[in-house]
Amino acid sequence: MDIFLQQLANGLTIGSMFALVALGYTMVYGVMRLINFAHGDMVAASAFVGLTIYTQVMGQAATLIAVITIFLLSAACMACVGIILERVAYRPLREAPRLSAVVSALGASLVIQNGIMLIWGPRMRIFPELIPQVYWDFGGVVISLIQVIILALSLVLMVALYLFVEKTRIGAAIRASSIDQDAARLMGINVNSIIALIFIIGSSLGAVGGLFIGLYYRGITFNMGWQYGLYAFIAAILGGIGNIPGAMLGGMLLGLFKAFIEGYVSSTWADAFTFILLILILIVRPTGILGERVAEKV
Amino acid sequence: MNRCIRTILVATSVALLAVPAFAADTLKVGVQAPITGSYANEGQGIENGVRLLAEQINAKGGVMGRQIEVIPCDDQGTAMAAAICAKDLVNKGVSMVIGSYTSTCAQAAQKTYFKAGVLQTSDGTADSLTEKGYWTFLRNSFPNSAEAEFVANYLVNVKKYQRIVVISDFSTYADGLANAAEAAIEKLGGKVVSRDKIKADSQNFTPVLTNIKSKKPDAIFFAGYYSDGGLLRAQQMALGIKADFYGGDANDNPDFAKLAGSAAKGAFIVNVPSPNVLPYEIAKTFIADYQKKYGEMPPSIWGLMNIDGMRAIIHGMEQTKSFDAKKVADYLHNMSTPLPGITGQIAFAKDGNRKGGAYVVKKITADGTYVNEYVQ
């Protein structure tokens, strides 16, 4: 039983990181009907930006204020990158066929990935141990401080995002733009600002996810964004792409699924099973768990 | 006119004959090493070491009166360049070849030296190097299987662990080392409670470690690379698995301790000793001479292993009083008393493997430095 609970805790930790990253995919898709493939690499970039802020700006101080500053500054940096990305790679193609925008997204992904390699080098960089190694043992189930922080902060951010989208006027504008951009524009909504806002929120959440990866796993490489981006993308589809609670649910479920497959079946087969799950979801329920069945616009 | 031509012909042939006769006075030693490329650091270490030893021997009158002439060839760490080097060195008439650094390059060149009857000594650790039955090949390091046996003996007989876990990734090196270690542990009567595999670079090893935790191990041997080893150690401690952690030789990298962070303290690394801790007098003198000549430490133990290989071949020549490769090889394969070397005692088994082992177990201290825990 304690093995089961331990795997559950492990799964929820990685699941909440997947969920944070998946939110970036799903929000952009919800409004723009575009898979932002560069999102995974933005996540990786934020880990490197965070490392640089720690060594250059904070002077390697591992205080609580330093940690908060790193999170805020990295999120701000990535939000800027997100706006630039949208302006340069996606806005000129907004009226173009969807395929062009997807190709542009893949190109942007390569540009960011290679940019990280050029700036920080191809070697693995080591993230500092900013969170003290504190553990609690509950009858064989060990939970670490960092796991608690990751879970709690992810949940807070996700609930805040949900409330923001569902309860505020700007949230209503986001939802309106997601349903019909032209109609939203007629209602006096500045769709360009809404899209910029989507990129700001998505990229900042991705930045938090990237910093969690750095803090939790310590070793960061320039090409790790691809791996996390792919898992988050699967999580977004699993939960229903375009659906915000769906991305959260999908991320958590994928984390649990991976932990249990690796724990009970084999680490060799974890990826194979993940993709089998993706294929099954696409066959049985293409709109995802929480996705609604909508008629294709003609 | 006729006489004139004859004179020239005679003079030329005398000259032609005289050149090889004169050249035979030097002992040509080929160095096949990655002098450029990813392993340039190691390759240059081998070349520098060979040149230093040659200088020292020449100053004492050479090998049975013949001065050593060093002929380097850069194999760039690639099999293709290694095969070309082998042909080139054989054509230049070398009596022995030192190198190369990687198993791949040693292997690519092996057959050419065997066919030409040229002695080769390399530090490559792949077991396959000595499995082809080439009498010309002398391994101056210890094969991966020797590390497995050392680890097994240490874990089972010295530390008396009861429940050992062996982990590897899926690479040929790591999987091979882990399988060999598992077999060796079981041969000594130890108990391997779990043999697990992780996917290299996948970062999250907690699912596998959680299963391991339920087996209640007292020791974990990890045969993969440092980039996974450091994370594995950190996640082991985070899960509260109180087993001693032993990393194989590929974990001997400063990044291991950085990745593991505060969890690095108390982890053990198994490897051949680094040059600065070699206890032998001959090692201290040679390394001091090396530093004096080149202004730096030898880059690693591997260059020194190669120097020991060269010393062994020269020792063989002096003992048999012959430059005949076959005779020297026969002598080295049947040496009754081992030759004291820079990296420990040197003696060869019939298959060209270096006998024994010179492994150490290093413990990582709180500040990330290593202390020797156990020396073979």
Q: DSSP state, A254? A: H
Contact B204 A268 (CB under 8 A): no
| Nearest residue in chain B measured CA to CA from A267 | B198
Mean pLDDT value of segment A221-239: 91
> With contacts defined as CB-CB under 8 Å, which chain A residues touch B202?
267
> With contacts defined as CB-CB under 8 Å, which chain B residues touch A135?
238, 240
- Per-residue confidence (pLDDT) for residue B371, from 0 to 100: 86
Contact B213 A6 (CB under 8 A): yes
CA distance to A259, A263, A267, per residue, from B205 (Å):
9, 9, 9
Contact by Cβ (8 Å): A254, A235? yes
The helix (H) or strand (E) run that includes residue B341 is strand B339-341
- Per-residue confidence (pLDDT) for residue B269, from 0 to 100: 93
Contact A263 B208 (CB under 8 A): yes
Mean pLDDT value of segment A217-240: 90
Mean pLDDT value of segment B37-50: 87
Statement: residue A297 has pLDDT above 50: no
How far is A101 from B314, CA to CA, in rounded Å?
69
Higher pLDDT, B367 or A149: A149
> With contacts defined as CB-CB under 8 Å, which chain B residues touch A263?
207-208, 210-211
Contact by Cβ (8 Å): A135, B238? yes
Name the pLDDT band for A88 (thresholds 50, 70, 90): very high
Statement: residue A142 has pLDDT above 70: yes
B 223-262 → A contacts, CB under 8 A: 227, 230-231, 234, 237-240, 255, 258-259, 261-262
User: What percent of chain B is predicted at pLDDT more than 90?
Assistant: 57
Q: What is the nearest CA distance from A139 to chain B, expressed in angstroms? A: 11
Statement: residue A295 has pLDDT above 60: no
How far is A234 from B264, CA to CA, in rounded Å?
34
Statement: residue A298 has pLDDT above 60: no
How far is B161 from B246, CA to CA, in rounded Å?
12
Contact by Cβ (8 Å): B149, B130? no
Mean pLDDT value of segment A223-230: 90
How far is B76 from B83, CA to CA, in rounded Å?
11
How far is A40 from A225, CA to CA, in rounded Å?
4
A40-74: pLDDT as tens digits: 999 999 999 999 999 888 777 778 888 899 999 99
> With contacts defined as CB-CB under 8 Å, which chain B residues touch A133?
237-238, 261-263
Burial class (CB within 10 angstroms; exposed 0-12, middle 13-18, buried 19+) of B327: middle
Number of Cβ within a 10 Å radius of residue B18: 10
Statement: residue A107 has pLDDT above 90: yes
A140-144, A202-206, B83-87, range with the lowest pLDDT: A140-144
Contact A3 B210 (CB under 8 A): yes
Closest CA to A151 of A4, A298, A11: A11
Name the pLDDT band for B348 (thresholds 50, 70, 90): very high
Please count the residue pairs, one from chain A and one from chain B, whose beta carbons lie less than 8 angstroms apart. Answer: 79
Statement: residue A138 has pLDDT above 90: no
A59-73, A75-89, A177-191, B183-197, range with the lowest pLDDT: A59-73
How far is B8 from B14, CA to CA, in rounded Å?
10
User: What percent of chain A is predicted at pLDDT more than 90?
Assistant: 60
Q: DSSP state, B276? A: G
Burial class (CB within 10 angstroms; exposed 0-12, middle 13-18, buried 19+) of B274: middle
How far is A294 from B72, CA to CA, in rounded Å?
72
Q: What is the nearest CA distance from A14 to chain B, expressed in angstroms? A: 8
Statement: residue B15 has pLDDT above 70: no
Contact by Cβ (8 Å): B201, B231? no
How far is A139 from A274, CA to CA, in rounded Å?
31
CB-closest option in B199, B211, B255 to A268: B199
> With contacts defined as CB-CB under 8 Å, which chain A residues touch B230?
218-219
Closest CA to A202 of A15, A19, A50, A13: A19
User: What percent of chain A is predicted at pLDDT more than 70?
Assistant: 97
B48-69: pLDDT as tens digits: 999 999 999 999 999 999 999 9
Residue B104 forms contact with A (CB below 8 Å):
no
Statement: residue B12 has pLDDT above 80: no
Domains of chain B from N-terminus onward: 8-142+278-346 (3.40.50.2300), 145-271 (3.40.50.2300)
How far is B122 from A36, CA to CA, in rounded Å?
51
Closest CA to B108 of B117, B120, B96: B120
Statement: residue A140 has pLDDT above 50: yes
CA distance to A2, A39, A98, A240, B273, per residue, from A105 (Å):
43, 9, 11, 20, 50
Query: Which residue's structure tokens are 């060796």?
Result: B184
Contact by Cβ (8 Å): A130, A66? yes
Domain coordinates of chain A in residue numbers? 2-284
Mean pLDDT value of segment A90-112: 92
Cis peptide before B262 (omega within 30 of 0): no
Interface test with B, best of A17, A131, A142, A257 (most B CBs within 10 A): A142
CB-closest option in B196, B231, B238 to A135: B238
> With contacts defined as CB-CB under 8 Å, which chain A residues touch B236?
none
Average of per-residue pLDDT values in chain B: 88
> With contacts defined as CB-CB under 8 Å, which chain A residues touch B264?
none
Mean pLDDT value of segment B75-86: 91
Mean pLDDT value of segment B334-339: 88
**How many alpha carbons fall within 13 Å on the CB side of residue B309?**
34
Query: Which residues from A are below 8 Å from B when comparing CB atoms?
Result: 2-3, 6-7, 10, 14, 124, 126, 129, 133, 135, 137, 142, 144, 213, 217-219, 221, 224, 258-263, 266-268, 270-271
Name the pLDDT band for A98 (thresholds 50, 70, 90): confident
Complex confidence, ipTM: 0.80
B264-311: pLDDT as tens digits: 999 999 988 888 888 889 999 999 999 999 998 888 888 999 999 999
Name the pLDDT band for B8 (thresholds 50, 70, 90): low
Class of domain A2-284: mainly alpha
Q: What is the nearest CA distance from A51 to chain B, expressed in angstroms? A: 14
For B335, residues 6+ apart whose C-beta sits below 8 A from its C-beta are B347, B348
Query: Which residue's structure tokens are 């108390």?
Result: B266
Largest CA distance in chain B: 99
Statement: residue B11 has pLDDT above 60: no
Report pTM.
0.75
